[in-house]
């Protein structure tokens, strides 16, 4: 490679000065430059969307320079690196976040105003990059932000899907999915790297020589190419900028000449197109597993390219393979990328020709595995036949490592056949499947849950037998969210109030524990009034958004009661809507006097249902039917308004979360691994009504149970209830629940959907896996507590302020610090200030 001499380097450096300056004129010059020369438009006439594109290119220029400098520095230091492997990155819009992180939002705003554009309007031109389903993908995005901010040399690796999570439309009350071709108008944030390309093989044959696991040649099959697309990830208040590398599939170079000569030109071209399908679409399932072959291909495709890329980087500076785990930590975001561990083993054995013991030590020293759910339907179990035909060597290696592992278990737990059965990587006899969680656990040095309760459940039941084998492997890493996007960007009013109150500075944005200071002002009228004003302003913005996007007018002087997350039985959106029905029936039975005492509520329920999840789609229809009836009932005079919040996604989460008064996190205890929006709502001064599940437990510990509306059975009560008979549960069906069912059956909320009818009938018959009947009474009681508290606005605001003050633990900065210290064993590496470079 060409190394430029210092003299030349100085010259090259100074060339950028006029272009990358932080003054208004330089900013305008770079924007206009992109309008004219990148977009090919005239700078004398361009639209908001073009201003968005050019502004993004201008910001990207700065990020690229930071990215290159960071990367060059880490390479020169042979720095240890963290690789976060995830099939999902739910980034959300990039422009505001990037400007905020490089501390240039105000400067760009002024520069744009000067040439006739409003930055806030330009933000709205950006499409959401929505390459994720829900919490798991958004967590990966928060982690990228925190790793960059904390000066950790880290990279994210994933897939550049052409289609992100579908857009949700509602027709006739039903969810209709629209494709999300987010790249239609280009993506200014990515840098295509046609030169960073790796071959990935599928199928073919494997021939082995030698004993034990042997070494061998994998040949034939189909080869596709992985092309890199990089997105810079700037840290807040640091020059450090990390890389998110997403892979796109393209046809391999092996061309079928035979078909050409046979005159089958079209057929041969069509086969090449098949390669591109691999990265076409994100699978829209949130915590349920689907055994599709294309999904397995996506997983291997991205893992194979990633491992090649990581090894190439390692080899820039290193020759001793034993240093690999000391310099590279790979974190698996659930089991989706677990095949990466087997791929690394394969490369070390078959390509690098290392002895098995050394290769295995390297693999287990490198990987960490994060589990995100205890739901059995989410656990990945790939059929042995499918793996065998697609990845013959990998299947072979899984059998081999499983055998060695089971022999060790046999030695340590003699006569414990049950345990062998449970911890084996292979399940079943004729229809054999590979349990990817078992593979991930055995291949990793650490396994973590995402909240304290979740980790306890992993240790005590889901992975109990593994925990007894490897007690030191298991630990907890309670999730967090980035305060940059989820407070500073989405709630500038509150951010300003916090800064003004604590020390006139934004240090708290990278040290959320500092916010605790505002607790001292929870009773101070001046502060409380300002907090109230912030909330009202956010509610106005939401009101405007709802009017604009859904044509519904909502009142400002109501409690904004919000339940937004993926639709799932365990998250119990059904229980919420049944409560609304109960509340509506109650109001119908009240006289004028009693009605004056009712706290008016606007109830928002939003979220996407997996397209194949019938029951979840039925819940959406029911919510819309109930909304229809209640919203059009003039007699209740807007005491309840029900809004199905359409197409819940990152960008509109940034509107609804700051505007919430009450937020619902009501999963059956023991089902929600953590939840992360509970943290976002708390940081934005909404009160939680919730069960003792997931991270709610820790939120209660931090902010005080008395500052939440806690209800419902705990994990043990749920276990006991589930162990009872249907007869037992049927005999104890909650009366108010029964009335709500009746109202639905009678057609009060329109024609009855058969699926929903069946679902409700089963609950009535005592089949109540998610414990709606068990929890309904205490849910109603908690809702009443929320109403009483809301009537006392001083108390309500005090609770909200204490919630904000004590939400510091739930910054993803804290989470990442824990991963660094306990799993990755890595310390921050602050890159020198660019001012130290030649000027």
Binding site for ligand Z2T (CB under 6 A): 133-136, 139, 286-287, 334, 372-373, 378, 450, 479, 672-676, 694
Angle at CA 165, nearest 5°, toward 338 and 661?
105
Whichever of 366 and 479 has its CB closer to ligand Z2T, that residue is 479
Whichever of 338 and 387 has its CB closer to ligand Z2T, that residue is 338
Q: CB of 297: closest distance to ligand Z2T in angstroms? A: 19
Active-site position among 81, 454, 539, 565: 565
Q: CB of 402: closest distance to ligand Z2T in angstroms? A: 22
Separation between Cα atoms, residue 143 and residue 479, nearest integer Å: 9
Whichever of 281 and 450 has its CB closer to ligand Z2T, that residue is 450
Q: CB of 673: closest distance to ligand Z2T in angstroms? A: 4
Q: Where are the alpha helices (DSSP H) in 323-391?
A: 324-327, 339-346, 356-366, 384-390
Whichever of 461 and 496 has its CB closer to ligand Z2T, that residue is 461
Give which of 541, 138, 616 is closest to 372, Cα–Cα. 138
Active-site position among 81, 295, 459, 680: 680
SS3 161: coil
Tokens representing 442 are: 């055995």
- According to DSSP, residue 249 is labeled E
Q: CB of 567: closest distance to ligand Z2T in angstroms? A: 12
Whichever of 624 and 668 has its CB closer to ligand Z2T, that residue is 668
Q: Which helix (H) or strand (E) holds 488?
A: none
Number of H helices, E strands in the chain: 35, 22
Mention every residue, 6+ apart, whose C-beta is less than 8 A from residue 7: none
Q: Confirm if 719 and 759 have CB atoms less than 8 A apart.
A: no
Q: CB of 61: closest distance to ligand Z2T in angstroms? A: 33
Q: CB of 334: closest distance to ligand Z2T in angstroms? A: 5
Active-site position among 501, 676, 789, 815: 676
Q: CB of 680: closest distance to ligand Z2T in angstroms? A: 11
Q: Confirm if 314 and 348 have CB atoms less than 8 A apart.
A: no
- Rounded to whole angstroms, what are the CA distances from 150 to 157, 234, 377, 488, 812? 19, 11, 36, 17, 10
Mention every residue, 6+ apart, whose C-beta is less than 8 A from residue 196: 227, 228, 309
Separation between Cα atoms, residue 685 and residue 698, nearest integer Å: 17
Whichever of 134 and 337 has its CB closer to ligand Z2T, that residue is 134
Whichever of 67 and 462 has its CB closer to ligand Z2T, that residue is 462
Q: CB of 337: closest distance to ligand Z2T in angstroms? A: 12
Mention every residue, 6+ apart, whose C-beta is less than 8 A from residue 329: 80, 81, 82, 83, 366, 368, 823, 824, 825, 826
Compute the CA torsion angle 410, 415, 418, 424 (nearest 10 deg). Answer: 10
Whichever of 89 and 229 has its CB closer to ligand Z2T, that residue is 89
Active-site position among 566, 572, 582, 641: 566
Q: CB of 89: closest distance to ligand Z2T in angstroms? A: 12
Q: Confirm if 82 and 243 have CB atoms less than 8 A apart.
A: no
Q: Confirm if 701 and 688 have CB atoms less than 8 A apart.
A: no
Whether residue 445 lies in the annotated active site: no
Whichever of 28 and 815 has its CB closer to ligand Z2T, that residue is 815
Whichever of 82 and 457 has its CB closer to ligand Z2T, that residue is 457
Q: Where are the alpha helices (DSSP H) in 564-613?
A: 573-588, 592-596
Distance from the first to the final alpha carbon of the chain = 24
Separation between Cα atoms, residue 292 and residue 741, nearest integer Å: 37
What's the farthest any 2 CA atoms get from each other in the chain?
A: 88
Residue with smallest beta-carbon separation from ligand Z2T: 135
Tokens representing 504 are: 């006139």
Whether residue 566 lies in the annotated active site: yes
Separation between Cα atoms, residue 575 and residue 773, nearest integer Å: 9
Separation between Cα atoms, residue 760 and residue 94, nearest integer Å: 43
Q: CB of 140: closest distance to ligand Z2T in angstroms? A: 9
Angle at CA 575, nearest 5°, toward 573 and 577?
70
Whether residue 676 lies in the annotated active site: yes
Tokens representing 506 are: 């934004």
Q: CB of 295: closest distance to ligand Z2T in angstroms? A: 13
Q: CB of 811: closest distance to ligand Z2T in angstroms? A: 15
Angle at CA 222, nearest 5°, toward 217 and 225?
100
Q: Confirm if 623 and 605 have CB atoms less than 8 A apart.
A: yes
Whether residue 601 lies in the annotated active site: no
Whichever of 20 and 288 has its CB closer to ligand Z2T, that residue is 288
Whichever of 334 and 734 has its CB closer to ligand Z2T, that residue is 334
Tokens representing 631 are: 């919203």
Tokens representing 802 are: 């204490």
Whether residue 571 lies in the annotated active site: yes
Q: Confirm if 603 and 587 have CB atoms less than 8 A apart.
A: no
Active-site position among 245, 372, 530, 535: 372
Burial class (CB in 10 A: 0-12, 13-18, 19+), 34: buried
Angle at CA 25, nearest 5°, toward 19 and 27?
55
Active-site position among 446, 571, 601, 798: 571
Whichever of 338 and 498 has its CB closer to ligand Z2T, that residue is 338
Tokens representing 45 are: 């006439």
Q: Which helix (H) or strand (E) holds 132?
A: none
Separation between Cα atoms, residue 441 and residue 272, nearest integer Å: 37
Q: CB of 294: closest distance to ligand Z2T in angstroms? A: 17
The beta strand positions in 162-221, using DSSP E, are 167-171, 174-178, 191-202, 205-209, 215-219
Return the active site residues. 372, 565-566, 571, 676, 680
């Amino acid at each position: 490679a060409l190394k430029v001499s210092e003299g030349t380097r100085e010259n090259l450096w100074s060339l950028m000065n006029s272009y990358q300056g932080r003054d208004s004129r330089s900013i305008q010059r770079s924007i206009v430059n992109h309008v004219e020369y990148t977009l090919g438009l005239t700078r004398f006439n361009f639209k908001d969307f073009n201003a968005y594109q050019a502004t993004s290119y201008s910001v990207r220029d700065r990020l690229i320079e930071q990215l290159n400098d960071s990367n060059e520095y880490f390479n020169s230091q042979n720095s240890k690196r963290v690789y976060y492997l995830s099939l999902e990155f739910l980034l959300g819009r990039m422009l505001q976040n990037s400007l905020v992180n490089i501390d240039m939002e105000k400067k760009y705003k002024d520069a744009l105003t000067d040439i006739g554009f409003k930055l806030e309007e330009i933000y709205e031109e950006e499409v959401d990059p929505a390459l994720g389903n829900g919490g798991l993908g958004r967590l990966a995005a928060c982690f990228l932000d925190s790793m960059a901010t904390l000066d950790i040399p880290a990279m994210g690796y994933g897939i550049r899907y052409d289609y992100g999570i579908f857009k949700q439309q509602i027709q006739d009350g039903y969810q209709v999915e629209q494709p999300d071709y987010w790249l239609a108008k280009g993506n200014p944030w990515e840098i295509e790297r046609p030169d960073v390309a790796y071959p990935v093989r599928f199928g073919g044959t494997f021939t082995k020589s030698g004993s034990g696991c042997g070494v061998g040649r994998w040949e034939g099959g189909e080869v596709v190419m992985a092309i890199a697309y990089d997105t810079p990830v700037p840290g807040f208040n640091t020059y450090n900028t990390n890389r998110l590398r997403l892979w796109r599939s393209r046809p391999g170079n092996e061309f079928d000449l035979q078909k050409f000569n046979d005159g089958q030109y079209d057929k041969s071209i069509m086969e090449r197109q098949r390669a591109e399908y691999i990265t076409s679409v994100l699978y829209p399932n949130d915590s349920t597993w689907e055994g599709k072959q294309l999904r397995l291909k996506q997983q291997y495709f991205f893992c194979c390219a990633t491992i090649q890329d990581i090894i190439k980087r390692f080899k820039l500076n290193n020759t001793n393979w034993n240093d690999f785990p000391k310099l590279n930590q790979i974190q698996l975001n659930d089991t989706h990328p677990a095949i990466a561990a087997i791929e690394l083993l394969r490369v070390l054995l078959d390509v690098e020709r290392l002895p098995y013991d050394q290769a295995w030590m390297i693999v287990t020293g490198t990987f960490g595995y994060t589990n995100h759910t205890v739901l059995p339907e989410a656990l990945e179990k790939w059929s042995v036949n499918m793996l065998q035909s697609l990845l013959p060597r990998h299947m072979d290696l899984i059998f081999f490592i499983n055998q060695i592992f089971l022999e060790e278990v046999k030695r340590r737990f003699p006569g414990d056949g049950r345990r062998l059965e449970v911890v084996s990587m292979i399940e079943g006899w004729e229809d054999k499947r590979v349990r990817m969680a078992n593979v991930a656990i055995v291949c990793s040095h650490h396994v973590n849950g995402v909240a304290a309760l979740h980790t306890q459940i992993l240790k005590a039941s889901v992975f109990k037998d593994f925990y007894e084998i490897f007690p030191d492997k298991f630990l907890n890493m309670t999730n967090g969210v980035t305060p940059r996007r989820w407070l500073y960007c989405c709630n500038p009013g509150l951010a300003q109030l916090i800064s003004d109150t604590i020390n006139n500075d934004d240090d708290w944005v990278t040290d959320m524990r500092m916010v605790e200071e505002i607790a001292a002002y929870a009773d101070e009228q001046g502060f409380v009034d300002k907090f109230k004003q912030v909330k009202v302003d956010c509610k106005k913005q939401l009101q405007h958004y709802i009017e604009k996007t859904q044509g519904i007018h909502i009142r400002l002087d109501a409690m904004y009661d919000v339940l937004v997350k993926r639709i799932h039985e365990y998250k119990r959106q059904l229980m919420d809507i049944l409560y609304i029905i109960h509340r509506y029936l109650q109001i119908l039975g009240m006289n004028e006097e009693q009605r004056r005492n009712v706290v008016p509520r606007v109830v928002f329920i939003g979220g996407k249902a997996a397209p194949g999840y019938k029951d979840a789609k039925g819940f959406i229809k029911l919510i819309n039917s109930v909304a229809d009836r209640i919203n059009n009932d003039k007699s209740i005079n807007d005491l309840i308004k029900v809004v199905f919040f359409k197409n819940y996604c990152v960008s509109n989460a940034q509107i609804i979360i700051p505007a919430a008064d009450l937020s619902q996190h009501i999963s059956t205890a023991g089902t929600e691994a953590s939840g992360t929006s509970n943290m976002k709502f708390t940081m934005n001064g909404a009160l939680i009504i919730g069960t003792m599940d997931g991270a709610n437990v820790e939120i209660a510990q931090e902010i005080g149970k008395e500052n939440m509306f806690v209800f419902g059975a705990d994990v043990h009560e749920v276990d006991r209830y589930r162990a009872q008979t249907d007869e037992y549960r049927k005999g104890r069906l909650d009366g108010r629940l029964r009335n709500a069912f009746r109202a639905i059956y009678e057609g009060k909320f329109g024609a009855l959907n058969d699926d929903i009818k069946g679902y409700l009938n089963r609950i009535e018959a005592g089949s109540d896996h998610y414990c709606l009947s068990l929890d309904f009474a205490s849910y109603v009681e908690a809702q009443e507590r929320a109403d009483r508290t809301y009537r006392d606005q001083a108390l309500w605001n005090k609770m909200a302020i204490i919630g904000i003050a004590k939400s510091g633990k739930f910054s993803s900065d804290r989470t990442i610090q824990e991963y660094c210290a306990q799993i990755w064993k890595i310390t921050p590496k602050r890159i020198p200030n660019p001012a130290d470079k030649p000027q």
